Amino acid sequence: MKLALAQINPTVGDISGNAAKILECYKKAAAQTADIVVFPELALVGYPPEDLVLMPSFVRKAMQAATELAKKTRNGPAMIIGCPWEEGKRKTYAKVPGSPWDEKRKIYNAALFLSGGKIAHVAHKIILPNYSVFDEKRIFTPGDGPMIIKCGGRKLGLLVCEDVWSNRLPRELSAKGIDLLVVINASPFEAGKPLRRREVAAAAAKKAGAPLVYVNMVGGQDDIVFDGGSFVLDAKGRCVLQMAEFEEGLGIYPVEVTAAARNPMLPLRDSQDPLWRAMMLGLSDYVGKNGFPGVVLGLSGGIDSALTAAVAVDALGADKVKGVLLPSPYTSKKSTRDALETARLLGIETMEVSITAGMEIFDEVLSPVFRQSGWMKDVSLGGNVQARLRGMTLMAISNKFGWMLLSTGNKSELAVGYSTLYGDSCGGYNVIKDLYKTQVYALADWRNAQSRAIPEHSIIRAPTAELAPGQKDEDQLPPYAVLDSILMLHLEGRLSAEEIIAKGYPKAVVEKIVRLVRINEYKRRQSCPGVRLSPMLFGRDRRFPLTNKF
């Protein structure tokens, strides 16, 4: 018996396109004499489908597509695919016919076993995650217990993603004497996650007393990235097949795992490499799946815009990235030099649009209101106007040419509200949204070690928004090393100000930072999506009330 691991990149909602991708991969596996082809969790509809599942027509079309795919197995290998599956009849309400909230309408996150031209078995996901990026209890019904499928004289246990993290389910399958444990997954990337998956799967293989096949999705979906990295473990938890990360592929392996284990650990990588590849994949899929011809971003000469431009070029190619310089009277010659050097190193086209004339017009229009000479030099007033003029200019260029605007605010700035709403926060996507400023510096050094892409002066210069003469970030914020340490304790660690102060941090600084995080929730709620790289992405993982006095 041969097993094919089909690590594919589906698009949420593109049922026909995903079915075509599945069929193409199935034919390749059949040509390699595979007996079963295993696809990821909800591969037919993409993950996460969110409230699309609550639309009866969506589930119906997915089930119809699964039925058509099943017919292809009449004279070929069996197939395991992920698909939403509805069971039970719907009530009819006078006011809301076909209501998705009907208790009798049971929709499962299912693994379908297609064989002999039909849907032979439907296994329901048992443990529905409802934390972090997951919201499955809202839309799915949990299954009752694990399913065992007989195929080719073997007994296959079938689990869906979160099920394998359970201590109970692999043991239940072991008690029934399975020969192989197959797990289909849509497991999102975050730093350190691949190794944790391997450890969990190894423990499950030992509990089940059987080899384990782990097939993971790959690709970007809004702010989530799936990193692939599918693998096969023997019954002792040793890796015998490891597929590539962050790319589609087809892995073939015999079920009989008797040879000495190869590759017992994940390949060692530089700690920054997975972060960079995740940002590339998240951006390229967001741009490609949404049909944008390319991206545009403001080049300030600073490290954030330079790093964002480098990711964009690596992900999309230089021809699909446009840079815009937006000088004001406060823009230094060094900033212009660094912005142009970034463009030269990356090979991207630039244009320059001065916002000075716009500042003068706003000064003329608003001076009678503020009754203050030189109010534009006030960062709290004129600074915001400048940032919004830049944002408006970039959005106009985006609208004219159809290029998606990249926002360039890092996690440290977003956390404390060090940005202007409808100004530098403008954008359709942000690849560094989940990177603290100190991580931005580390990644810039790492990227330059591969090939020079970011001007050295952009890395070593003091960060500044240049909204006033001589302005620097640290005029209003503590050094980023201190700021990021406090933010990590407060956000990822969920510690209060008192608990952080108890660790030795200055009381006044901690209280200021925690207060800024709290009062700027409204800005973050309106920020654009960005690549999730940690367990604490704003929006997906941290959802606090806007009105909050805690």
Q: Would you name the residues annotated as active-site residues?
A: 41, 125, 161
End-to-end CA distance of the chain: 59
CA separation, residue 38 to residues 186, 193, 214, 218 (Å)? 13, 22, 9, 14
Name 176's Cβ contacts closer than 8 Å, sequence gap at least 6: 148, 155, 157
Name 517's Cβ contacts closer than 8 Å, sequence gap at least 6: 415, 416, 487, 490, 491
Q: What share of the chain is helix, strand, coil (3-state, %, to 5)?
A: 40, 20, 40
Question: Which residues make beta-bridge pairs with 252?
Answer: 4
Extract the tokens encoding 285. 């899929």
The Cβ of residue 205 has, within 10 Å, a number of other Cβ atoms equal to: 27
Name 101's Cβ contacts closer than 8 Å, sequence gap at least 6: none
Residue (of 124, 210, 144, 203) closest to 175 by Cα position: 210
Complete DSSP assignment for 258-304 = -SPP---SPPP--TTHHHHHHHHHHHHHHHHHTT-S-EEEE--SSHH
**How far apart are alpha carbons 403 and 1 in whole angstroms?**
49
Q: Where are the beta strands (DSSP E) in 27-69?
A: 36-38
b/e for 370-405, b at 16 or more Cβ within 10 A?
eeeeebbbebeebbbbbbbbbbebbbebbeeeebbb
The Cβ of residue 230 has, within 10 Å, a number of other Cβ atoms equal to: 26
CA separation, residue 448 to residues 157, 169, 481 (Å)? 47, 47, 21
Q: Is 520 helix (H, G, I), strand (E, B) or coil?
A: coil
Torsion of CA 338, 339, 341, 342, to 10 degrees: 120
CB 483 within 8 A of CB 412: yes
**How far apart are alpha carbons 521 and 541 in whole angstroms?**
13
Residue (of 538, 312, 281) closest to 425 by Cα position: 538
CB 84 within 8 A of CB 45: yes
